């Protein structure tokens, strides 16, 4: 990674689904994420990334999942398979009560931003995505292009669903894609392995750690000052 460079002025950190249900103790999905998140240091790394990219002058884009409202999904011909899969995972983990409850409900604590990841002045909140990709049926592409962003860094949850789908879509649209392997998590270590070691090489231009990305941003800032 010695030749890895990152121009903060052309970059965008895509913070995917930073909700209490995913990231906070008491969140409906946190019990499923907690083990992997703890191993990679997810919360600390996300805090460092958000602080670091802001300091470097890089934009932060919040890329939120649809917050559930009554009637969502009713009458659909093809409900999202991942919803059924997530419920099955919760049941298998002995979290039957969580499996009965909707995640990311609008107006509830679980659907609010994690307190450490609340939009600040200058951040951009993208329209909510319904399924996995932060680009599908949203204004993310428009918001990025209007600000001259060419390099995107999707982080957050989950590594093998929304982060991966957003990153794949970004590559298809012509963006440079960087994944940060310790700034995301999944429901299992196997899912993390698949996301970063098997799938990422087919669409990501760089796969780095939080430390490597922040180091590259610092180097870019120093060159700009020189």
Mean of the pLDDT values across residues 73-81?
78
Least-confidence region, from 72-76, 98-102, 152-156, 211-215: 98-102
Residues with Cβ within 8 Å of residue 141, at least 6 apart in sequence: 135, 173
pLDDT band at 102 (very low <50, low <70, confident <90, very high): confident
**Cα–Cα dist 137/205, whole Å:** 24
Residue 70 CA, distance from chain mean position: 25
Task: Give the tens place of pLDDT for each residue, 160-196.
Answer: 999 999 999 999 999 999 999 999 999 999 999 999 9
Which CATH superfamily does the domain covering 8-225 fall into?
Isochorismatase-like (3.40.50.850)
Using CA of residue 57, residue 140, residue 27, residue 180, what is the dihedral sign? negative
Average pLDDT, the chain: 91
Least-confidence region, from 25-29, 52-56, 76-80, 222-226: 222-226
Indicate the domain borders of the chain: 8-225
Mean of the pLDDT values across residues 65-91?
78
Q: Report pLDDT for 205.
A: 96
Higher pLDDT, 102 or 145: 145
């Amino acid at each position: 990674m010695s030749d890895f460079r990152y121009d903060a002025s052309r970059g965008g950190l895509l913070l995917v689904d930073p909700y209490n249900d995913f990231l906070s103790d008491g969140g409906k999905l946190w019990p499923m994420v907690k083990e992997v998140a703890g191993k990679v240091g997810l919360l600390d790394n996300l805090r460092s990334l958000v602080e670091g990219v802001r300091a470097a002058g890089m934009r932060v884009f919040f890329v939120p999942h649809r917050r559930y409202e009554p009637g969502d999904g009713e009458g659909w011909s093809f409900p999202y398979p991942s919803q059924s899969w997530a419920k099955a995972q919760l049941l298998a983990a002995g979290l039957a009560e969580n499996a009965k409850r909707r995640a990311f409900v609008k107006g509830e604590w679980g659907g609010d931003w994690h307190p450490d990841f609340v939009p600040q002045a200058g951040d951009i909140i993208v329209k909510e995505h319904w399924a996995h990709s932060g680009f599908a049926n949203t204004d993310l592409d428009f918001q990025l292009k209007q600000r001259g962003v060419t390099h995107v860094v999707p982080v957050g949850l989950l590594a093998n669903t929304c982060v991966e789908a957003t990153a794949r879509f970004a590559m298809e649209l012509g963006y440079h894609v960087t994944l940060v392997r310790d700034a995301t998590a999944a429901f299992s270590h196997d899912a993390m392995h698949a996301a970063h070691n098997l799938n990422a090489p087919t669409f990501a231009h760089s796969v780095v750690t939080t430390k490597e990305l922040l180091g590259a941003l610092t180097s870019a800032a120093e060159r700009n000052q020189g």
